[in-house]
């Protein structure tokens, strides 16, 4: 290294440092994704916390917002659990009967062409039993427990950011005034990401209610579980509603072809309402991204990180678009942040 020119040496050190930094980021990708999703949740809750923080301590304000959201959700879940269990048992019974009928019809049709399904059907229970290994049986509750821990960790990080955000940013600006443009950019990105998530949740609630009422009218069960599935997956643009419609359509056809077609029509109607009435308002007010960009972002996120990647794809795209808009021109936030502490 002694005979290497300083410029080359600096370039080599930079390349090595960059490579090590990327390796560290890759190793910590799950933690970074957790923190990013917590930041998105905090951005959506921040306006409510700011409203209460004018009269209450910030920690108490954040706790009340959490209680006001999580409490009703848990209450609704607890009250609907008995009905949900009965509907799921009914739906599974109908699905089993329909599959048996379809397989019998398929066997009769294939017999005309000399194809015998009996050996396949006879070996099917054994093949399914071979797939149910002890490792998988143990892994299922462990996976559920790990998911619950992840949700708790996410909510804890979001709560901490809601409480300590202004203090941390104020200290940052006071110590490094040059960080002011970055803080302004962060505030702008938070506003847009928070507006997107709040708007998407409102859309999810409206569409889930419409689907619930429509499935009840058509007699498709479990209407409550199918509507709840749509509410969760609706947060994923484009792909989410499609995935949520598949179980409902399948259960609709178990009650007859007419019911199945009506369920398809119901979901198409809901999709048109979302595409032409509700989503454009969210795009205009918060996201400001062309639909093609949203589609590419969702597909790319799903390819890289699966369902979780599709979930965070649009917030990531909003953050990148905000960064590409250039430096913010708003007044410096140092005084407004410092005045609170």
Using one digit for the tens of pLDDT, what is the confidence trace for 287-311?
Answer: 667 777 877 888 888 888 887 788 8
The structural domains of the chain, with segments of one domain joined by +, span: 30-338
Average confidence (pLDDT) over 81-107: 75
pLDDT at 155 over 90: yes
Please indicate whether residue 284 or residue 153 has the higher confidence score (pLDDT): 153
Q: At what angle do helices 6-27 and 29-53 cross, to 10 degrees?
A: 70
d(Cα 288, Cα 273) in Å, to the nearest integer?
19
C-alpha to C-alpha distances, 44 to 40, 207, 289, nearest whole angstrom: 6, 20, 19
pLDDT at 81 over 80: no
Instruction: Give the other-Cβ count within 10 Å of 34's Cβ.
Output: 15
Could you tell me if 171 and 177 are in contact, meaning their C-beta atoms sit under 8 angstroms apart? no
d(Cα 52, Cα 45) in Å, to the nearest integer?
11
Instruction: Give the other-Cβ count within 10 Å of 310's Cβ.
Output: 25
Could you tell me if 43 and 194 are in contact, meaning their C-beta atoms sit under 8 angstroms apart? yes
User: Is the C-alpha dihedral spanning 70, 75, 76, 80 positive or negative?
Assistant: positive
Task: State the pLDDT confidence band at 156, using cuts at 50, 70 and 90.
Answer: very high
- Written as one string, the DSSP assignment of 29-52 is HHHHHHHHHHHHHHHHHHHHHHHH
Among residues 200, 234, 201, 228, the alpha carbon closest in space to that of 212 is found at 228
d(Cα 334, Cα 182) in Å, to the nearest integer?
12
Q: What angle do CA 87, 76, 278 make, to 5 degrees?
A: 90
d(Cα 337, Cα 70) in Å, to the nearest integer?
29
Q: What pLDDT score was predicted for residue 137?
A: 59
Name the one residue in this structure whose structure tokens are 């009996």.
118
Task: State the pLDDT confidence band at 264, using cuts at 50, 70 and 90.
Answer: very high
d(Cα 207, Cα 221) in Å, to the nearest integer?
17
pLDDT at 115 over 90: no
C-alpha to C-alpha distances, 272 to 110, 229, 241, 312, nearest whole angstrom: 39, 19, 11, 24
Q: What pLDDT score was predicted for residue 332?
A: 44
The first and second tokens of residue 135, run together, are: 């490792």
d(Cα 209, Cα 103) in Å, to the nearest integer?
34
Task: State the pLDDT confidence band at 139, using cuts at 50, 70 and 90.
Answer: low
Say which range, 4-18, 132-146, 181-195, has the weakest mean pLDDT.
132-146
Task: State the pLDDT confidence band at 106, using cuts at 50, 70 and 90.
Answer: confident
Among residues 35, 39, 59, the alpha carbon closest in space to that of 49 is found at 59
d(Cα 251, Cα 220) in Å, to the nearest integer?
7
Instruction: Report percent pLDDT > 70 for the chain.
Output: 82
If you ran DSSP here, which 8-state letter would residue 332 be given?
P
pLDDT at 3 over 70: no
Could you tell me if 273 and 207 are in contact, meaning their C-beta atoms sit under 8 angstroms apart? yes
Please indicate whether residue 287 or residue 277 has the higher confidence score (pLDDT): 277
Q: What pLDDT score was predicted for residue 28?
A: 81
pLDDT at 238 over 80: no
Average confidence (pLDDT) over 133-147: 70
The first and second tokens of residue 22, run together, are: 């990327």
- Angular region, 155: left φ>0, alpha ψ -120 to 50, beta rest: alpha
The first and second tokens of residue 276, run together, are: 């032409």
Q: What pLDDT score was predicted for residue 25?
A: 77
Average confidence (pLDDT) over 212-227: 90
Please indicate whether residue 282 or residue 36 has the higher confidence score (pLDDT): 36
Q: What pLDDT score was predicted for residue 108?
A: 74
Instruction: Give the other-Cβ count within 10 Å of 157's Cβ.
Output: 19
pLDDT at 250 over 80: yes
Longest Cα–Cα distance in the chain: 83
Name the one residue in this structure whose structure tokens are 């996201």.
287
Q: What pLDDT score was predicted for residue 136?
A: 64
Using one digit for the tens of pLDDT, what is the confidence trace for 34-58?
Answer: 899 999 999 999 999 999 988 899 9
């Amino acid at each position: 290294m002694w005979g290497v020119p300083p410029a080359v040496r600096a370039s080599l050190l930079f390349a090595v440092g960059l490579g090590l930094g990327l390796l560290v980021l890759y190793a910590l990708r799950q933690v970074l994704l957790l923190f990013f999703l917590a930041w998105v949740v905090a951005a959506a809750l921040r306006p409510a916390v700011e409203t209460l923080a004018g009269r209450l301590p910030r920690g108490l304000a954040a706790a009340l917002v959490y209680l006001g959201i999580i409490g009703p959700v848990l209450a609704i879940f607890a009250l609907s659990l008995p009905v949900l269990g009965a509907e799921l048992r009914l739906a599974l019974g109908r699905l089993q009967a329909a599959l048996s009928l379809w397989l019998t019809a398929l066997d009769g049709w294939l017999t005309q062409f000399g194809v015998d399904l009996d050996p396949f059907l006879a070996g099917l229970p054994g093949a399914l039993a071979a797939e149910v290994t002890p490792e998988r049986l143990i892994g299922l509750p462990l996976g559920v427990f790990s998911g619950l821990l992840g949700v708790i960790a996410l909510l804890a990080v979001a709560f901490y950011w809601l409480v300590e955000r202004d203090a941390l940013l104020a200290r940052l600006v006071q110590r490094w005034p040059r960080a002011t443009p970055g803080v302004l950019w962060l505030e702008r990105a938070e506003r847009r990401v928070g507006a997107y998530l709040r708007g998407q949740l409102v859309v999810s609630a409206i569409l889930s209610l419409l689907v619930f009422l429509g499935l009840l009218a058509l007699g498709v069960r479990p209407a409550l579980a199918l509507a709840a599935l749509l509410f969760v997956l609706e947060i994923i643009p484009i792909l989410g509603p499609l995935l949520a419609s598949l179980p409902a359509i399948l259960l609709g056809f178990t009650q007859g072809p007419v019911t199945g077609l009506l369920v398809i029509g119901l979901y198409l109607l809901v999709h048109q309402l979302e595409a032409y009435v509700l989503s454009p308002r969210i795009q205009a007010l918060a996201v400001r991204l062309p639909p093609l960009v949203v589609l590419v972002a969702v597909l790319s996120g799903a390819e890289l990180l699966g369902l979780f990647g599709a979930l965070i794809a649009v917030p990531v795209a909003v953050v990148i678009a905000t960064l590409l808009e250039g430096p913010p021109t708003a007044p410096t936030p140092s005084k407004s942040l410092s005045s609170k502490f």
